Amino acid sequence: MKNVLLTGANGYIGQALARVLASRLATGGLQSLTLADHAFEHHAFHGAPGVHLVAGDLCDKTVLAEATSSTPDTVFHLASITSRRAEEDFSLGLRVNLQCTLALFEHLRRQGQCPVMVFSSSIGVYGAPLPDQVNDDTAPAPTLSYGTQKRMMELLLADYSRRGWLDGRAVRLPTVVARPATADTALSSFASMLIRALAEGSPWDCPIGPDGWMWLLSLPACTQHLMQAATVESSRLPEGRAWNLPAQRIQVSELITAMRSRYGPSADAGLSFQLKPALQQQFAQWPPLVTTIADRLGMCHDGDIVTLIERALAS
């Protein structure tokens, strides 16, 4: 890992991963770091030595050429239209999640260097109703456009890897917490909003009930897993090049109890439940999760609900 490209670098996860990568640049672990996104207003790495910011649309050939001008040996492809917007604007989701990603794949193929490609997929590849347990052999059956688009690119990434054009690793992210209120672009963002509302003791209407089950992972754990995914030997990867990241299965009522223990018995005083059936069905019925591949690769979730909360609110 010497010349790295990170797309979606100005997003919630992208900014955190950029900080991790920049620390390696400072210690000589990296030679160059290219951060690409639609815009970089007031970005922390403006003018930073060794960091190249590329602002623009990756579907634009000029922007794509600039983003890949270092001939990266490692690419973290996080750029996407998230679930809420992909569902509200099908054409936009299709353009960004499929067409721009394919354009990136093709440009890297023509460069002929077979870079490592860490692709941020999603548990959205699984759709409702879910089986009694999800593991790495559970067949994807997305029921949202976002999950469908992610699954399509997983398959294409596996084919590019089979042909030796990319060294692909598609990691399926669970709900990563705790997004700031300004990053409420994913349908699953209610989990972050719930954590922050309880921590602040602020009024909030929860769209899923106290019996809802979520798969949660903190932002620091997520960035750690993305970095691990980039360094795994190809021989250890699953045949389909895609696997589920580990996550804690936590019930809303358990989260409320833990937050009350941390912030006092009035932490949930402003909390009410205004259920949204579509969210309840798609995002609150997650069954037990078995992540055999991630476990074998040395990946693990935050460990317990207290640590999850601490990491989620510190990030």
Q: Over range 80-85, report the average pLDDT.
A: 89
Q: pTM (2 decimals)?
A: 0.95
* C-alpha span between 251 and 261 (Å, rounded): 16
Q: Tell me which CATH code domain 176-216+247-314 carries.
A: 3.90.25.10
From the DSSP assignment, how many helices (H) and strands (E) are in the chain? 12, 12
For the stretch 147-157, pLDDT in tens is 999 999 999 99
Give the mean model confidence (pLDDT) for residues 79-86.
Answer: 90
| Residues with a known catalytic role | 146
Give the span between the Cα atoms of 48 and 50, in whole angstroms: 6
- Residue length, the chain? 315
pLDDT at residue 184 greater than cutoff 60: no
For residues 104 and 34, give the distance between their C-alpha atoms in angstroms, rounded to a whole number. Answer: 14
CATH class of 3-174+218-244: alpha beta
Given a contact cutoff of 8 angstroms between Cβ atoms, the answer to whether 25 and 96 are in contact is no
pLDDT 10s digits, 204-217: 999 999 999 999 99
Closest among 300, 207, 196, 169 to 255, alpha carbons compared: 196
Q: Residue 315 has what pLDDT?
A: 74
Domain extent listing, the chain: 3-174+218-244, 176-216+247-314
Task: Check whether 6 has a pLDDT greater than 60.
Answer: yes
CA distances (Å), 262 to each of 146, 216, 251, in order?
A: 35, 18, 17
Mean pLDDT confidence for 66-92: 94
The answer on pLDDT for 62 being more than 90 is: yes
